[in-house]
Amino acid sequence: MTDIVVKAKKRELTGKSAAKKFRAQGLVPAEFYYHGEKNFHLLVNRKDFEYVLSHSHSLLSLELEGQKKKYQCIVKDVQFDPVRGDVLHVDFQGVKKGQKITVTVPVILKGTAAGVKTGGILEHLIRELEIECLPNDLPEKLEVDVTNVKVGEAIHVKDLHFKNIKILDDPEETVLLIEAPRLAKEGEVEEEAAEEEIKEPEVITAKKEE
């Protein structure tokens, strides 16, 4: 069982009006879904939950006010305010031992790429991956070693392998790549621009002669 605890209390009121009042009090409306059981309407402290969300992407232990029982779960979905970024609503999904779960976890790059050391530019294209695994195998993050990636090379989803974890994203998707140094590209553009400047007077002269 995880040591990361989220405290919550049940709520009776639902609807937009009630949700607005709760948020004004620093509380976030939430739902807890558990296979085969009725879902719970909950409230969690916004600041406490935002702290947990920024420090953990794995299993949580949901502790309901007035109950001794704790529920092992994951954060299935979070809705944010599009302007302020505050958490507006949370969905928790209960998990059972031995039952696989599907969840999204962050992709973290490890090391300094060989291509970057020679002037290349690293493009990190996929920052999250959807995975399937057992609750006890759920990782906080997926670390990808980029040490040996050179200029012109890339790492695709199909190149990633983690023990007891199945990645559900398209195998051909590019996770990261190393582009050639930008100075070289800028030099090519400058050369093309210089050629155009040389040709331009010739065109003008030809028109004058006509």
Residue 54 domain boundaries: 5-96
Task: Compute the distance between CA of residue 184 and CA of residue 118 in angstroms, rounded to an integer.
Answer: 12
90 and 114 in a common domain: no
- SS3 state at 14: coil
Residue 1 pLDDT exceeds 50: no
108 and 69 in a common domain: no
- The reply to whether 206 falls in a domain is no
Overall pTM surpassing 0.75 (yes/no): no
pLDDT bin (cut points 50, 70, 90) of residue 208 is: very low
42 and 88 in a common domain: yes
Mean pLDDT of 173-190: 75
Task: Tell me which of 70, 96, 122 is where a domain ends.
Answer: 96
CATH number at residue 31: 2.40.240.10
113 and 174 in a common domain: yes
pLDDT bin (cut points 50, 70, 90) of residue 150 is: very high
75 and 156 in a common domain: no
Query: CA 77, 127, 52, 102 torsion: positive or negative?
Result: positive
User: pLDDT value at position 194?
Assistant: 54
Task: Compute the distance between CA of residue 131 and CA of residue 122 in angstroms, rounded to an integer.
Answer: 24
Taking the CA of residue 60 as centre, how many other CA atoms within 13 Å lie in the half-sphere pointing to its CB? Answer: 24
Tens digits of residue pLDDT in 43-78? 999 999 888 888 766 788 888 888 888 888 888 889
pLDDT bin (cut points 50, 70, 90) of residue 168 is: very high
Residue type present at position 116: V
Task: Quickly list DSSP for 70-137.
Answer: EEEEEEEEEEE-TTT--EEEEEEEE--TT--EEEEEEEEEES--HHHHTT-EEEE---EEEEEE-GGG
